[in-house]
A and B are shown apart, each in its own frame.
Chain A
Amino acid sequence: MAIRSFFVPFLLFALCFNSSLTPVLSLYEDQVGLMDWHQQYIGKVKQAVFSTQKTGRRRVIVSTEENVIASLDLRHGEIFWRHLLGSNDVIDGIDIGLGKYVITLSSGGSILRSWNLPDGQMVWESFLQGPKHSKSLLLVPTNLKIEKDNVIVVFSNGRLHAVSCIDGEVLWNKDFEAESFEVQQVIQPPGSDLIYVVGFAASSQFEMYQINARNGELLKHESETFSSGFFREVSLVSSETVAALDSTGSILLTISFQNGEISFQQTPISNLVEDSSGPAVIIPSSVPGIFAIKTNAITIFIRVIGKGKLEVVETTNHETAVSNALPISEGQQAFALVQHAGSEIHLAVKLAHDWDGNLLKESIKMDQQRGLVHKVFINNYIRTDRSHGFRVLIVMEDHSLLLLQQGAVVWSREDGLASIIDVTASELPVERDGVSVAKVEHNLFEWLKGHMLKLKGTLMLASPEDVAAIQSMRLKSSEKSKMTRDHNGFRKLLIVLTRAGKLFALHTGDGRIVWSHLLRSLHKSEACKSPIGLNMYQWQVPHHHALDENPSVLVISRCGPSSGAPGVLSFVDAYTGKELNSLSLVHAVVQVIPLPYTDSTEQRLHLLIDSDKHAHLYPKSSEALGIFKREFSNIYWYSVEELDGIIKGHALKCKCTGEVADEFCFDTRDLWSVVFPSESEKIIATVTRKSNEVVHTQAKVIADQDVMYKYISRNLLFVATVAPKGSGEIGSVTPEESWLVVYLIDTVTGRILHRVTHHGAQGPVHAVFSENWVVYHYFNLRAHRYEMSVIEIYDQSRADNKDVWKLVLGKHNLTSPISLFSRPEVITKSQSYFFTHSVKAIAVTSTAKGITSKQLLIGTIGDQVLALDKRFLDPRRSVNPTQAEKEEGIIPLTDSLPIIPQSYVTHALRVEGLRGILTVPAKLESTTLVFAHGVDLFFTQLAPSRTYDSLTEDFSYALLLLTIVALVAAIFVTWRLSERKELQDKWR
């Protein structure tokens, strides 16, 4: 209910007086959740393990591609506990040991950890080393014991380890040093003391090692050569048989190593299925007696009967996913099979030895926007009638996680939101007339009641129930989650592109998903095997004359990981999430340049640069071409070749020549280049200003009534390079060998406007560029601390315009156009400070008009967002500022930047795995919207100079009304009194 005040100028004036005080940004406890929301995710599930013990029955342990291990509630899908391992600590396997420990193997098999199942506390951690890199396999046998110790068997880095489940101690280990040995499976037949390690050597030799599980003694080693070689993976059929494919993918091999004797049985796939074509791949599964292969679009399930005899049990051309096997009773194992059929999925639970009979068969309606089923995990429970019930956890193409039970989706988690690639904000539709007024009148009584409650709260008369009522009323305020535009601009849509190729629209009011859309263009298809979403741009932002149109966003994606792969464009309506159009391009998309021009329907012109350095104009319309032609000679861009250490500037030349006769294709030319010497400099960071940033004033008035002119150019590029030696981790080099050079480069002419070297400094460098300043963060090896530096750049060519008379008589050059081809006359000011934290991301607040002072938003290593006033990073700070400087608001110089605990924007919360911070200006000048994303999402509103232009949320209108009424009453009473008195005076 912030109402824009009519006293803005007055308040601004008041603010000027207040600005010398450090604004306190903290939040009261009862304000948490009023304007901010926080959502927790885990990412795409890689592996799920169900706890079978009594206490843990309601839980499932998952590991994800975001390197999260989490314990989820099976009833509701909530997170019990969660740990985010570092980005280089990839989880290889998880399992449950002794029913109460979660065992994780990570970091390429070199770290084994145990976590307490109920609360997620770490119990122990062991580091496993080995002679060489290899596949990592984790095996937790249920009943293998060495001296009452339960054992975990780990194969990692070319070594087999047996680790105690209790304390993580390595009981024995055994090296597999044979050069080319590639481990495929580690098998522990239940009830025996043997471990089989099988794998390939030299790609055509099958090796089998039999090892005593008690002491790691090698009992038997057999190898057999198969002339045509093997193809990647094997599938375990039984504890003494595996299935594999030959290197051409056309012959099936069943390899049995019973009693240490290896024998091959070959079966050409064409014998089993007639119309098979192309090489097959094995689908990894662990169902005993059955394995699955896939050729083209057909999935074939094959049963192994007896000695190497194969039998096809089912062929299907639907998309199919198979779960792991689940032992349900003595000798019986069940597994789940999920198949797609139109808008439904069919779930079947079967026994391993009985393909035709179904324990369970269900059809579940599935949202088309979730795509295909990628993974299935099965779990059983005892029904009320004592029979077996099954529930399955499925992972969908959009990375969401669903629990199916009794033919329904019990819960779902949108874990695609844990891997956001790009974010952009969109306005909501304008409110139509006659919607809200009636609602307000209807709720007039409620409204008054609410304000009375607030008044009570203000006057400290409220009872605890009242306080609770006030709090819940504030949190549930329907105002903030409406689907229409508000006049303060707080309500917006955040359009989010995830790694799964799904677009989500989140409402800024409460963070709910307004719509989601799995991009068709990002679907796997014949033409495009592995599409990758890259970026998102605002394609159409209607305002003024084109208000009837819905805004739309442009999603750029690419077929395949190489930068030369052809691009795909999709245009998506921001209100409904409908894909308006999608274009498969013939050319690649290396760079996208949104141009500052729009056509009559407010579609923004974009220039796409392909790998052959042709520029393509979109939208492909004659109107756009006309606009483009007018500005043809004023379009410049740059490209950074990080590997070569070259930055180049480009301009347009002429229409494309050659085979493609296309009006919208243009040749380009190189205008300038900056070549960093490869032996001394390596580019590690490049930052530009945000293209939509608004700068309120170019002039900056400094203490002694002097004016400095900010050098504001949209074409400035900040580049940081380090010594190639020093590009590794912090501490890997001595200060003498390491330096950091930063540049400010004009991207039209290639001029280096500023260049400065920090000796003894090292990356990683995080930087933010805004207005005429850049702030960057790096490590100082000499001081053993992180440092932040600021560079401000000022224009000297306008410095003569200080004379008032010149301005009055019009003899100034303030309105003359600036050409970057003129020699720039700039001066820079810079200063460095120590900073305690290492940083994950830096952003800066942005407001509608750029009047409000700025704050830096620093994503700290603790996954929190810290707001730091830009005034702390003012190069004009000095130890003893003069009185005039103090009045201006210059803070005395300190060697390090203060971290005020109250200025954490995220207050008590953490945005796990923080990757990016986005700021969006609200319509209200004082306020900016902040969205931080990583594995978690966090959104809040910030007012860097407090809300000087509106009344606060908890402003008591009732109190105001009451005061007015009281005043009016007092006026009447005194008037009456004075009348009477005067009358008496007259009669005297």
Chain B
Amino acid sequence: MDTIKVVVAILLTFSLFSFHSFGFQSDELLVDDEEFGLEGAPQPRFPEPTSTRSAPVTTATRKRHSDLDSDSKIEFSLDHAFGDSDFAPAGTFSARIKTWSHGGQTLTKLRFSRNNFTNEEQKNFKNLLESDDFYRIRLPSNVLSPPGRNFIISSVKARCLPREGLDEHFVIHMEGVNVLAVNYGSPGSCPYPRNLKLPVKWSFSSYTVLKNSEQAPRAPIFTEEILGGENGGGEVVQPPERSFWAKYWMYLIPLGLIIMNAITQAMNMPEEQVTGQVPAQGQPSAGAVQRGPSSAARRR
């Protein structure tokens, strides 16, 4: 029972804290995505969504430097294949392994150096472009003991890569030192139908992003006190004042219609009387005037 009480108390304090600070955001520290642009590489020209934006390298690493325990450098290779050919080395990733005090290990400072295409490879790639085939890459699933359990494969239609040069974009999903998946493709869009376009220069510009899992937002926990506090605060958000039109359009439109209708009626009426009465009496006059004699006639 005591433990439950303690848990409840902790939850209460947590929820209190969360309420005052962020509304209903989780109060847990969200581990930053470990994202680093390739150092020295040109900044991506395409606007990236915020979730994968390359963080400024220096600030992020400095922050980490203070609490890291040990550092060691590792390398793992990227292999590629043209269509269904066998895999061959295409480049090397190098990174630092950071061991946390709680025993976990993560990668930081990921760098990538890509080998230039040999003539043979260039020819193969051209073939791929012509046949609209897949360019495939693979990574080991464990960076400490490659290849780990299996290789992580990813592929893209070759026609998606060429722009000026060859642009590629890696998003490597990590879980500790394990590579979970790699999303490989062009950094921008690859519109369909894919047109054949040869690159001007045969060099790669690569963008790499490391991603770790995010924490899920916690289910909000409401308690009496918190709700009481909310109400006591009296901080009721006033709805933004809306314009007269926005408020009453549903009345204004019918009103307008009625008015318009009335006007047209009023416009039509004289004309009708003109056409209807002129041959009979030859006396152009307003309806109201007209009604007098006619009713008088009826009384007769």
Chain A interface (Cβ < 8 Å from any Cβ of B): 633, 644, 646, 648, 651, 653, 669-678, 680-681, 741-742, 745, 749-752, 755-759, 780, 782-783, 787, 789, 796-797, 816-819, 821-823, 825-827, 830-834, 878-880, 882-884, 893-895, 986
Contacts and interface: CB of A to CB of B under 8 A. Distances in A.
Given A749-B185, A821-B186, A822-B190, A832 B173 contact: no
B121 to A, nearest CB: 20
Contacts of B152: 673-675
Contacts of B45: none
A752 B184 CA distance: 11
A895 B185 contact: no
A291 to B, nearest CB: 54
Contacts of B11: 782-783
Interface string B29-72: 00000000000000000100101000000000000000000000
Contact of A821 (B49, B156, B211): B156
Contacts of B173: 752, 755
A671 B215 contact: no
Nearest to B150: A675
Given A671-B136, A677-B175, A783-B221, A757 B214 contact: yes
A800 to B, nearest CB: 11
Residue with the highest number of chain B CB atoms closer than 10 Å, among A821, A825, A884: A821
Given A783-B11, A878-B24, A894-B222, A741 B213 contact: yes
B216 A750 contact: no
B215 A757 contact: yes
B213 A671 contact: no
Contacts of A741: 213
Contacts of A750: 153-154, 181, 183
Given A677-B178, A879-B230, A672 B237 contact: no
B234 to A, nearest CB: 12
B151 interface: yes
B183 A677 contact: no
Contacts of B23: 878-879
Contacts of B187: 823
Interface string B238-258: 011000000000000000000
A742 B213 CA distance: 10
B24 A671 contact: no
Interface in B121-175: 132, 134, 136, 141-142, 148-157, 160, 169, 171, 173, 175
A28 B23 CA distance: 41
Contacts of A834: 219
B214 A756 contact: yes
Contact of B176 (A674, A677, A879): A677
A682 to B, nearest CB: 13
A895 B155 contact: no
A817 B189 CA distance: 12
Interface residues of B, number: 61
A859 B213 CA distance: 31
A818 B192 contact: yes
A633 B194 CA distance: 13
Interface of B: 7, 11, 23-24, 46, 49, 51, 84, 132, 134, 136, 141-142, 148-157, 160, 169, 171, 173, 175-176, 178-181, 183, 185-194, 211, 213-222, 230, 236-237, 239-240, 298
Contacts of A830: 216-217
B219 A819 contact: no
Nearest to A760: B218
A671 B155 contact: yes
13 contacts: A675-B151, A675-B178, A677-B142, A677-B175, A680-B176, A757-B213, A782-B7, A782-B11, A817-B191, A832-B218, A880-B236, A883-B239, A893-B24
Nearest to B137: A672
A633 B132 contact: yes
Contacts of A755: 173, 211, 213-214
Contacts of A787: 219
The 3 closest A-B pairs by CB, nearest first: A883-B239, A822-B189, A677-B178
Given A823-B186, A882-B237, A671 B211 contact: no
A819 B193 CA distance: 8
A823 B175 contact: no
B215 A756 contact: yes
A882 B136 CA distance: 50
A498 to B, nearest CB: 39
Given A819-B192, A823-B188, A895 B183 contact: no
A752 to B, nearest CB: 5
Given A756-B214, A894-B222, A669 B186 contact: no
Given A671-B136, A671-B153, A755-B213, A780 B219 contact: yes
A783 B192 contact: no
Contacts of B176: 677, 680
Nearest to A785: B219
Contacts of B156: 749, 821
Contacts of A878: 23-24
Contact of B191 (A681, A819, A880): A819
A895 B194 CA distance: 48
A452 to B, nearest CB: 40
B153 A680 contact: no
Nearest to A789: B216
Contacts of B169: 823
A673 B188 contact: no
Contacts of A672: 153-155, 181
Contacts of B142: 677
A155 to B, nearest CB: 43
A832 B132 CA distance: 43
A823 B185 contact: yes
A879 B24 contact: yes
A675 B192 contact: no
